[in-house]
Structure 1
Amino acid sequence: MIDTVEQALVSPRYLAGSGDAAWITVPLHRACGWSYGHDPLIPRVILTSPDQQAHLRLEPNPDNQWWRLRHAATRNSPSWYASFSARTPVELIAAVTDALTDPAASRTGSASALDPLQDAGWQWQPSTRVSPDGITEVEHFTNHGCNSWFITAALSKDPENQLWQARFDGNTPDYLITAFTQALADPAPLARDPLLLPPHLRRHPHLHTEQVPVATVAFALERRVAQLTARHPNALTKALPTRPSPQPGPGHRR
């Protein structure tokens, strides 16, 4: 019986590649009560918040952002929009959806979205924060009536070498953008299946692998669902299963 499985630990985390979309979609449905529509003939996922105000759409589109999050206008705030390209690490997107669905999240007086980057030693350029290795830039454009955020990871200025991009319009609540930049600057590595690493990582100096217990991998998503469920006064899911989930094969690791 196999007791451990190999995982790659990737740091900086913005190089990790996309990861498993279920890290976002499953907790939104099971822990936060978001409903979904299902059409087996169309390769997309659409999740809707219980109040019908927010929609998350995941749709494979090689010419556009794959993840699109929209929130309708309310009495106290305008509508807003965020999007993420295919290879954006799911943990960074999950930081936004976790904050959005957190009943205790602070909607006012949050820290600047640039503060976590400054604390992590990112370099300052006009309207831009640049990671120490120069790979990732966080830009906030406010000129000529434009108010938008662009977070871009790229191995060079050549568009062919762009890894991913996240976009937030200017109406996006500050605390959600800050949640993203906090996750972006977090020094903790992200775990990935060594067999599914993007090509640019295969000789990366900060990449290493380790053997971890199979149960750690198999139950990672269940633990995440349970933790997010605990934030809500009315539990929407049951406790962790008493029987283990199927052991992950080579293509079934986060």
Structure 2
Amino acid sequence: MPLDDDHRTIDGDVYIFPRYLARSTAAGVPALAPLLDLGWDLEHDDLGNAYVNAPDRRVRLGYLPEGEDDGLWRINAYKAHHELFNAPAWGVCFNNDTPTEFVRAFTTELAAAYKQGPDAYLATPTPADKDHDPFLAVTSLIDRGWEFDQPEPGVFAIRSPDRLAALEFTAGPLDPEAELTSRTARWHLWAGNSIDRPAWYATASTDTPVALLTAVTQCVSDPAPLPRWQEETFSYAKGAQLTPILPPQPPVPTPLDVQRAAASRRPAALPAPSVPRWSTTSRPALPGPRR
């Protein structure tokens, strides 16, 4: 499906800070674009849900505005063709209020991993492997001032400085089916004033590749605000700051611009009068009439 460039970008009239309180744009195209640009197949059901399938049918994304719950985005990867009804190797869910930019960060990294092959998009997190160490997913959070916490036994969390966002990691064995269908997953990222009623949340199962998780945590912790249309957005969690986006100002002229402008206003110089020049090779003047 060709996508117009106007639908790939996200704009607005206010900036939201911190960005993890921005909520969704209610537009799916910007997050679908990285996969559709690779030639992934796009299908729709009768309800208006969209499904994007990798050419090898081993990765499937569902965009489910008419789904059974608030899991708007569900992405699963399989070690074999997914239509053979094999269990997913990993699954990720973003609910319907998750900022679209975070989903796009995930799909952009997924597209890059898919181009590398199954060893990349099916890479299992391994603490002993420096390239796939799960700790890499939280490095960007730590570098940006997020702090460790332990809300309950067996659960480790890292929270934003304002305590309005957190990434939780659950240790120990988990039910594989519950990881794919509920918030009881290995990774649980959320924002808002309460984990029970978050502004938005995202989950990732045990074997989700670390590179895909890292792309999301880097985007979530980015200090830059996000643009939104104030009149078209959902209410924001307490603590969000809205700043009007001012129209671009004309550039300040440089000294060279001033000189050129002044030169363009000067009157054109008059041509110098012509003066006859004589030389030894000039012909003598003709004699005038005698008196």
Return the TM-score normalized by structure 1: 0.71
Q: 1:130 to 1:62 in 2, by over 3 A?
A: farther
CA deviation profile, 1:12-46 (whole Å, cap 9, x unmatched): 111111112111123421x121111134x312010
- Please tell me whether Structure 1 or Structure 2 has the larger radius of gyration of its CA atoms: 2
Identity %: 28
**Aligned pairs for 1:1-254 within 5 A:** 7-19=13-25, 20-29=27-36, 31-39=37-45, 41-60=46-65, 61=67, 63-73=69-79, 79-102=89-112, 103=115, 107=120, 109=131, 112-126=136-150, 127-145=156-174, 148-157=186-195, 159=196, 161-200=197-236, 206-212=241-247
Letter in 2 for 1:200: Y
Report the Cα distance in structure 2 between the residues aligned to 1:195 and 1:64, rounded to whole angstroms. Answer: 23
Letter in 1 for 2:79: A
Return the TM-score normalized by structure 2: 0.63
Deviation at 1:134, TM superposition (A): 0.9
Report the Cα distance in structure 2 between the residues aligned to 1:56 and 1:6, rounded to whole angstroms. Answer: 27
Q: 1:6 to 1:91 in 2, by over 3 A?
A: closer
More strand by share: 1
Match of 2:282 in 1: none
Secondary structure of 1:32 counterpart = coil
Compare relative contact order (CA 8 Å, sep 6+) and give the higher one, 1 or 2: 1
CA deviation profile, 1:29-66 (whole Å, cap 9, x unmatched): 1x121111134x31201011122111100112463411
Contact 2:132 2:209 in 1 (8 A): no
Contact 1:73 1:80 in 2 (8 A): no
Q: In structure 1, list runs of 5 or more residues that go unmatched.
A: 214-254
Report the Cα distance in structure 1 between the residues aligned to 2:209 and 2:240, rounded to whole angstroms. Answer: 36
Letter in 2 for 1:121: G
Report the Cα distance in structure 2 between the residues aligned to 1:204 and 1:125, rounded to whole angstroms. Answer: 21
Report the Cα distance in structure 1 between the residues aligned to 2:242 and 2:232, rounded to whole angstroms. Answer: 13
Secondary structure of 2:236 counterpart = helix
Report the Cα distance in structure 2 between the residues aligned to 1:141 and 1:65, rounded to whole angstroms. Answer: 20
Report the Cα distance in structure 2 between the residues aligned to 1:165 and 1:148, rounded to whole angstroms. Answer: 13
Q: In structure 2, list runs of 5 or more residues that go unmatched.
A: 1-10, 81-87, 124-130, 151-155, 176-184, 249-291
Alignment RMSD (CA, Å):
2.6
Match of 1:244 in 2: none
Q: How many residues align?
A: 202
Match of 1:221 in 2: none
Deviation at 1:11, TM superposition (A): 1.6
Letter in 2 for 1:122: W
Deviation at 1:206, TM superposition (A): 2.5
Runs of 4+ displaced beyond 6 Å? none
Report the Cα distance in structure 1 between the residues aligned to 2:234 and 2:103, rounded to whole angstroms. Answer: 18
